[in-house]
């Protein structure tokens, strides 16, 4: 593929994915409102949002209440099937190893994420669980959609936390 074709394909992908990523960002902002690290996720089926969630680890005191996990559970409940084979997951931050496992178990065919996570990302930044071809399922990955804006939500949150004297 030529560079021009590649750029064009990138632009089409952006216009398709950006509106849903913005919805995931709204979930992330909601999480910051209740005091959690701003990470948000939405799950889309046939162009409609079937589930949306923000990170609830702190507010629920639940170590596994990541946005992706909550959205996957809500989507399965909404659809009435644990297999999310017709869905796309949008998440503002590269999934961790736990969420990568959940994505594979749910048979999600496509994952679109915003910012990369060099400290814990499981889509190639730190681990490559989502790129692992020994597993029975491998989702298509679309990285870096609105990455800068998604990342800024996190840096602004942590800066504000530091100002409040929290770590
Ligand atoms: Zn996670």
Reference 45, options 85, 99, 81; nearest CA is 85
Predicted local confidence at residue 87, as pLDDT: 98
How does DSSP classify residue 3?
H
Ion ligand 1: residues, CB < 5 A: 66, 96, 98-99
Q: Is 68 a catalytic residue?
A: yes
Q: Ligand 1 centroid vs 99 CA: distance in angstroms?
A: 4
Banded pLDDT at 7 (limits 50, 70, 90) = confident
Reference 47, options 20, 70, 24, 72; nearest CA is 20
Q: Ligand 1 centroid vs 153 CA: distance in angstroms?
A: 17
DSSP H or E run through 146: none
DSSP H or E run through 151: helix 147-163
Banded pLDDT at 2 (limits 50, 70, 90) = confident
Angle between helices 3-33 and 147-163 (to 10 degrees): 30
Q: Ligand 1 centroid vs 76 CA: distance in angstroms?
A: 17
Instruction: Determine which of 13-22, 79-88, 97-106, 136-145 has the lowest per-residue pLDDT on average.
Output: 13-22
Model confidence over 44-99: pLDDT tens digits? Answer: 999 999 999 999 999 999 999 999 999 999 999 999 999 999 999 999 999 999 99
The Cα–Cα gap between 1 and 116 comes to 25
Give the active site residue among 5, 14, 18, 68.
Answer: 68
Predicted local confidence at residue 1, as pLDDT: 66
**Residue partners of 48: CB distance under 8 A and separation at least 6:** none
pLDDT above 70: percentage of residues in the chain: 96
């Amino acid at each position: 593929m030529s560079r021009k074709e590649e750029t064009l394909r990138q632009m089409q992908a952006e216009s398709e994915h950006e509106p849903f990523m913005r919805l995931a960002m709204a979930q992330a902002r909601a999480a910051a409102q209740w005091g959690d690290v701003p990470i948000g996720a939405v799950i889309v089926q046939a162009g409609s949002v079937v589930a949306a969630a923000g990170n609830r680890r702190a507010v629920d005191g639940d170590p596994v209440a990541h946005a992706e996990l909550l959205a996957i559970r809500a989507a399965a409940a909404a659809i009435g099937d644990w297999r999310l084979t017709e869905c796309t997951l949008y998440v503002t931050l590269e999934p961790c190893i736990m969420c990568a496992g959940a994505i594979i178990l749910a048979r999600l065919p496509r994952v679109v994420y915003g910012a990369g996570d060099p400290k814990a990302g499981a889509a190639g930044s730190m681990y490559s669980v989502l790129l692992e071809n020994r597993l029975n399922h491998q989702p298509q990955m679309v990285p870096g959609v609105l990455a800068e804006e998604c990342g800024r939500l996190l840096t602004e949150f942590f800066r504000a936390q530091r100002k409040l004297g929290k770590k």
